[in-house]
Amino acid sequence: MKKASILMIIGPLFLLGLYVFPLWNIMLGAPQYPDPLGLNIHINGLQGVNEFDIQNIDGLNHYIGMHTLPKVEDMWEFGTFPIIIGIMVGLGVLIGILGFLGKLSYKWFLGWFALMSLMGILGMYDFNEWLVDYGTNLDPNAIMKLTNPDGTPMTYKPPLLGHVKMLNFDVTSLPATGAWLMFLGMMLTLAAGYFGWKSKKIKT
């Protein structure tokens, strides 16, 4: 149980990476952009991969009527997510310490993992909602109003995960360093739960 508790203390700390590294990354390459434009999604706001990428993405997107990318103050998520992550890290470490001191059982470890997974799924859902809005809520006076072959208006939702060809752009959306660290941390807490359960079984 001591080993499991140590893993439970360490695991949530990996989430601190989200304060430094981006959670998600969307790259936009095109014939005119051999060095692709890129968007890093951090829990506290959006950043260009290169300094002026956001300005340049917005500049291109205005042709097809997309709104400009949200600033920190435009989305409640950028204020709330850092707090939620902070609470979850604190809570996880606390559970680990209490487990180490024998005050809490391994079930709490699994409980933290389940809660974090739920939050992650909700976060992804929310992110996808934003992508849908960003890609479909278009300015009716857009310079270029394109239609699909079936006559419906063309929309530009970037993929949540993977690659999509959108007009002249190749759009690739993938988890970034912050997400991988979070994933690793969560796996450690899952392992903590597993080792906790095993040590319990040996004892009984």
Stretch that binds other proteins, among 15-23, 49-57, 93-101, 152-160 (CB under 8 A): 49-57
SS3 for 126-156 is HHHHHHHHHHHCCCCCCCCCCECCCCCECCC
Stretch that binds other proteins, among 55-63, 67-75, 114-122, 157-165 (CB under 8 A): 55-63
Question: Which of 2, 20, 52, 71 contacts other proteins by CB under 8 A?
Answer: 52
CB 104 within 8 A of CB 98: yes
The residues that bridge with 166 in the sheet, in sequence order, are 169
Closest distance to other proteins from the beta carbon of 72 (Å): 19
- 139-198: contacts with other proteins (CB under 8 A): 143-144
Q: How far is the CB of 163 from other proteins (least distance, A)?
A: 22
Rounded to whole angstroms, the Cα distance separating 127 from 137 reads: 15
Q: Smallest distance from the beta carbon of 55 to other proteins, in angstroms?
A: 6
31 in contact with other proteins (CB under 8 A): no
Residue entry with tokens 């499991």: 4
**Please, are residues 182 and 1 in contact by the beta-carbon 8 Å criterion?**
no
Name which position in 59, 79, 90, 153 contacts other proteins (CB under 8 A). Answer: 59
Contact 132, 159 (CB under 8 A): no
- The phi and psi torsions of 4 (rounded to 5 degrees) equal -60, -40
Judged by CB under 8 A, the residue of 56, 68, 128, 199 near other proteins is: 56
- Number of residues lying near other proteins (CB under 8 A): 9
DSSP three-state, residue 23? coil
Among 27, 36, 42, 55, binds other proteins (CB under 8 A): 55
Helix axes 106-136, 177-203, angle to 10 degrees: 160
For the record, the structure tokens of 163 come out as: 């690659």
Q: Note whether 68 binds other proteins by CB under 8 A.
A: no
Question: Tokens 């950043």 map to which residue?
Answer: 47
3-state DSSP call for residue 42?
Answer: strand
> Which residues contact other proteins by CB under 8 A?
35, 51-52, 55-56, 59, 63, 143-144
